[in-house]
């Protein structure tokens, strides 16, 4: 199950991303566990072979979904952005943990 912060909903609208596309990125993107959250990065090489080049899902390459997970399959999406150059910066983030729960992100 996926929940969204108000900020994430605004960013999804600005970037023209739908719920199904966020789910696709979470399922197929590369998870990076840093800074107490999970960065799901959609790399071009991680796109499934059945995706055609002119498909809307092919345009998701370069998109990152930042979420926190409760460990039971529930995600709270914090923000979404499109910038393949940020992949390197995201991987270099510190591995500290804010110990922030999903309830604290919503509040």
Q: What is the pLDDT of residues 38-92, one digit of tens each?
A: 889 888 887 888 888 888 888 888 899 999 887 777 889 999 998 766 655 655 5
Q: Are 57 and 24 in contact (CB under 8 A)?
A: yes
Say yes or no to pLDDT of 102 above 60.
no
Q: How are beta strands 2-4 and 75-82 bridged, if at all?
A: parallel
> For the segment 30-39, what is each residue's pLDDT rounded down to a tens digit?
898 877 788 8
Structure tokens at 40: 């799901």
Q: Kindly state the DSSP code that residue 4 receives in the 8-state scheme.
A: E
Q: How are beta strands 37-41 and 63-69 bridged, if at all?
A: antiparallel
pLDDT score recorded for residue 93:
56
pTM of the full predicted structure?
Answer: 0.76
Closest CA to 78 of 60, 66, 96: 66
């Amino acid at each position: 199950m996926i929940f969204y912060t108000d900020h994430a909903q605004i960013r999804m609208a600005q970037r023209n991303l739908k719920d199904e596309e966020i789910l696709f990125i979470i399922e197929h993107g590369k998870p990076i566990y840093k800074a107490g959250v999970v960065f799901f990065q959609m790399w071009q090489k991680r796109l499934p072979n059945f995706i055609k080049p002119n498909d809307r899902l092919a345009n998701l390459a370069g998109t990152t979904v930042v979420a926190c997970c409760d460990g039971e399959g529930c995600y709270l999406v914090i923000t979404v952005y499109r910038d393949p150059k940020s992949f390197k910066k995201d991987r270099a983030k510190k591995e500290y943990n804010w110990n922030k729960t999903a309830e604290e992100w919503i509040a």
